Amino acid sequence: MARLFGRRKQTRDAAGDAGPSRPLRGRHPAVQVEGVTKIYNEDTPQQLLALDNISMEVAQGEVVALLGPSGCGKSTLLKMIGGLYPATSGRIFVDGAPVTEPGELTGMMFQKPVLFPWLKVVDNVLLPARTQGAKRSEFLDRANDLIALAGLQGFEESYPWELSGGMQQRVAICRMLMGEPKVLLLDEPFGALDEMTREYMDLELRRIIIRQNRSALLVTHNPLEAAFIGDRVVVMTTRPGKIAGEVEVPLGKDRSEDLLASDELNVYIREARSLLELAKDSLGRPL
């Protein structure tokens, strides 16, 4: 991103979309996870196997939902793909390149919006550019375009604490897109929102991902959210986290609000739910 923010001037397409979609390399999957294991406190009595030999992929331009019960290590896996933490063994590639530290190809969104209350909305969005040493004025237009894309016009100069929870996560979406990541890593971004707002945000997020032509991996414990957002749902078991199975959701790229309550979607939600159930024993305890 240093290179990106350092030299390249941003151009905008005619539709006013924020930023061009960089051509995908195509030869490699967007994300490739090969036999990844994570052990906490290795070689101590408190040793804990969190992730056990996980392999999965996100194809270029694909949106994958990683569905699993709380504590199954799905957030850990996501953060390892983002380069925040190392895997104990196994390999992770983003766009064909091994992940060793946070790179410019990935953008992350967290359970909380994680906005800085001392910065205005526009400056929160500009943060990734600013930390790479770019001038504020240089990327102001792009930040404003992203804010418009997320439906937040008029709130550029507001402070995060003046916004609702849903609006704050919209700001977090803009900030994530600021560095033009090709792969979006989303860690239960709407988990803290109420049901109605969450569904609306799911709709918006899906729209933005498709319109911006990105690949995405979304972590969630909600089967409805997983099936609605994902082109594919990967289901994980809990501790140690393993892949339980996956569900293809061939409902097309553009998904509308009507789909949320449709029987079509329900088929896939049930399928995902039954995979989740398989991962538990008869008392409902995770296996």
Partner 1 sequence: MSERAKSALTFLASLVVIMGAWEYVSRSGGVNEIVVPAPSSIMEAIWFVITNLFSKLAYWQDTWITLYEIVCGFLLGSGTAIVIGSLVAEFATARRIVIPYTIALNSTPKIAIAPLFVIWFGFGAMPKILIAAVICFFPVFVNTVTGLQSTEEEELELMASIRASRWQTFLRLKLPRSAPFVFASLRTAMAFAAIGAVIGEFAGAQDGLGFQIEFAAARLETARLFAFLFVVSLLAYLLYSLIAYTERKVIFWSATTRMQRLQ
If one asks whether residue 79 binds partner 1 (CB under 8 A), the answer comes out as: yes
Q: Which residues pair with 185 in a beta bridge?
A: 108, 217
Q: In terms of Cα–Cα distance, which of 154, 180, 172, 134 is closest to 17?
A: 180
d(CA 136, CA 126): 7
Nearer to partner 1, 24 or 84 (CB): 84
Shortest approach of partner 1 to residue 273 CB, angstroms?
29
Nearer to partner 1, 42 or 162 (CB): 162
How many of the other CB atoms lie within 10 Å of CB of 211? 15
Site string for partner 1, 171-200 (x = CB under 8 A): --------x---------------------
Site string for partner 1, 111-150 (x = CB under 8 A): xx-x-xxx--------xx-xxx------------------
**CA-CA distances (angstroms) from residue 217 to 105, 107, 176, 231?**
13, 11, 13, 10
Nearer to partner 1, 37 or 111 (CB): 111
Helix count and strand count (H, E) for the chain? 8, 10
d(CA 118, CA 256): 36
Alpha-carbon torsion (116, 120, 124, 127), positive or negative: negative
Shortest approach of partner 1 to residue 53 CB, angstroms?
25
Question: In which order are the strands placed within the sheet that holds 183-187?
Answer: 106-109, 183-187, 215-220, 63-67, 232-236, 243-248
Can you tell me which of 50, 104, 192, 286 binds partner 1, judged by CB under 8 A? 104
Can you tell me which of 19, 68, 110, 224 binds partner 1, judged by CB under 8 A? 110
**Residue 151 is which amino acid?**
G
d(CA 7, CA 9): 6
If one asks whether residue 220 binds partner 1 (CB under 8 A), the answer comes out as: no
Can you tell me which of 19, 73, 82, 240 binds partner 1, judged by CB under 8 A? 82
d(CA 260, CA 200): 10
Shortest approach of partner 1 to residue 287 CB, angstroms?
29
Site string for partner 1, 153-172 (x = CB under 8 A): ------x-x-----------
Nearer to partner 1, 53 or 75 (CB): 75
Residues at the interface with partner 1 (CB under 8 A):
1-2, 79, 82-84, 101-104, 106-108, 110-112, 114, 116-118, 127-128, 130-132, 159, 161, 179
